[in-house]
């Protein structure tokens, strides 16, 4: 593992630790959903995207829309770590009158769009990417969808439009953990064969291990999608990084007990120590 990737892996564990603390202390949160996409957001915010907490509205910034808005704990943890919000404010997560509510809120610097009502992010990201083309702007637009979210018909209207307008400045990522709030996506609303569907809609599709930061960075940096929007199908594990939460649908929205919290912190610390030796 090269030094840059190792630092990013460590960052992802520290962020997972912060997510777990936030959920435990506020007694609410989409724990498994946030841990699932932590590596994707770590790659985006610490390696790929040009965003500046000192100048969050800069017109040249890359745009990120978290369509699966419920996994907000990881977004707040990153925005605080990068300096878009104060660490003190992060402690108010989900408290009465806090701006840091249970879904992304565009009153907060660094948040482009209020999301959480599923199925809207890709359409807005498509519009933003189209605007960049029309205005001859160089910024890239990224959006993260859940796999359960694919049951929303509006996702597929946007998929068709993005390819129609040849938006090769748009990258969508599916957090493909195979689970949603009520169970397996294959049982609730089967979206397989996923890659074939997106290819049929005219997208350039890359499938990666979505908990492998190095593979994610490679997929983000790939420039083979000339004249096509890019879809990264990120195969992930819901609850990744906490042994008792991995692959369990019930952890979609669940608060750990004190014992579970302490065990998770031990697991994060152990993984950090292991990484030091790798």
Of residues 191 and 225, the one with the C-beta less far from Mg ion? 191
- Stretch of 40-48, 113-121, 135-143, 180-188 contacting Mg ion, by CB under 5 A: 180-188
Of residues 115 and 225, the one with the C-beta less far from Mg ion? 115
Of residues 69 and 110, the one with the C-beta less far from Mg ion? 69
Report the half-sphere exposure of 185 (CA within 13 A, side-chain side): 22
Please identify which residue in 105, 177, 212, 236 interacts with Mg ion, judged by CB under 5 A. 177
**Shortest CB 117 distance to Mg ion, Å:** 16
Q: Is 119 in the site for Mg ion (CB under 5 A)?
A: no
What DSSP letter does each residue of 181-233 carry, written as one string?
A: TTEEHHHHS---SHHHHHHHTT-EEEEEETT-HHHHHHHHH----TTS-EEEE
**Shortest CB 148 distance to Mg ion, Å:** 5
Give backbone dihedrals phi and psi of 219, rounded to 5 degrees, phi first: -65, -40
Of residues 177 and 212, the one with the C-beta less far from Mg ion? 177
- Stretch of 21-29, 120-128, 137-145, 175-183 contacting Mg ion, by CB under 5 A: 175-183
List of residues 6+ apart from 7 with CB closer than 8 A:
none
Q: Is 147 in the site for Mg ion (CB under 5 A)?
A: yes
Element (H, E) at 89: helix 87-90
Q: Contact 1/234 with Cβ under 8 angstroms?
A: no
Of residues 129 and 179, the one with the C-beta less far from Mg ion? 179
Please identify which residue in 146, 229, 241, 256 interacts with Mg ion, judged by CB under 5 A. 146
Of residues 126 and 177, the one with the C-beta less far from Mg ion? 177
What DSSP letter does each residue of 60-88 carry, written as one string?
A: TS-EEEESSTT-HHHHHHHHHHHTSS-HH
- As a whole number of angstroms, the distance between CA 31 and CA 34 comes to 5
* Residue 98, SS3 per DSSP: coil
**Shortest CB 146 distance to Mg ion, Å:** 5
**Shortest CB 181 distance to Mg ion, Å:** 9
- Stretch of 95-103, 122-130, 147-155, 263-271 contacting Mg ion, by CB under 5 A: 147-155
- Stretch of 148-156, 159-167, 193-201, 267-275 contacting Mg ion, by CB under 5 A: 148-156
- Both tokens of 265, joined, read 């912190």
* Residue 178, SS3 per DSSP: coil
Q: Cβ–Cβ contacts within 10 Å for residue 110, how many?
A: 23
**Shortest CB 179 distance to Mg ion, Å:** 5
Q: Is 148 in the site for Mg ion (CB under 5 A)?
A: yes
What residues numbered 194-213 form the site for Mg ion, per CB under 5 A?
A: none
| Interface contacts to Mg ion, rule CB under 5 A | 146-148, 177, 179-180
């Amino acid at each position: 593992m090269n030094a840059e990737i190792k630092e990013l892996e460590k960052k992802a564990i520290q962020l997972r630790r912060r997510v777990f603390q936030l959920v435990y202390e506020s007694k609410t949160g989409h724990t498994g959903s946030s841990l699932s996409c932590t590596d994707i957001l770590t790659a985006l915010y610490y390696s790929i995207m040009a965003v500046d907490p000192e100048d969050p509205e800069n017109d040249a910034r890359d745009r990120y829309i978290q369509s699966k808005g419920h996994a907000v704990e990881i977004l707040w943890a990153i925005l605080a770590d990068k300096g878009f919000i104060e660490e003190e404010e992060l402690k108010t997560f989900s408290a009465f009158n806090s701006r840091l509510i249970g879904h992304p809120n565009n009153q907060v610097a660094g948040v482009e769009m209020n999301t959480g009502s599923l199925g809207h992010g890709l359409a807005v990201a498509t519009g933003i990417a189209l605007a960049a083309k029309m205005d001859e702007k160089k910024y890239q637009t990224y959006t993260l969808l859940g796999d359960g979210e694919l049951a929303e018909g509006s996702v597929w209207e946007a998929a068709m439009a993005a390819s129609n307008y040849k938006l090769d400045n748009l990258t969508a990522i599916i957090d493909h953990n195979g689970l949603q709030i009520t169970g397996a996506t294959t049982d609730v609303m089967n979206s397989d064969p996923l890659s074939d569907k997106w290819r049929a809609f005219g997208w350039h599709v890359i499938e990666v291990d979505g908990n492998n930061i190095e593979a994610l960075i490679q997929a983000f940096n790939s420039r083979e999608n000339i004249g096509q929007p890019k879809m990264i199908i990120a195969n992930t594990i819901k609850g990744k990084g906490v042994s008792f939460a991995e692959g369990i649908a019930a952890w979609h929205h669940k608060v750990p007990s004190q014992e579970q919290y302490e065990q998770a912190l031990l697991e994060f610390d152990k993984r950090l120590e292991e990484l030091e030796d790798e």
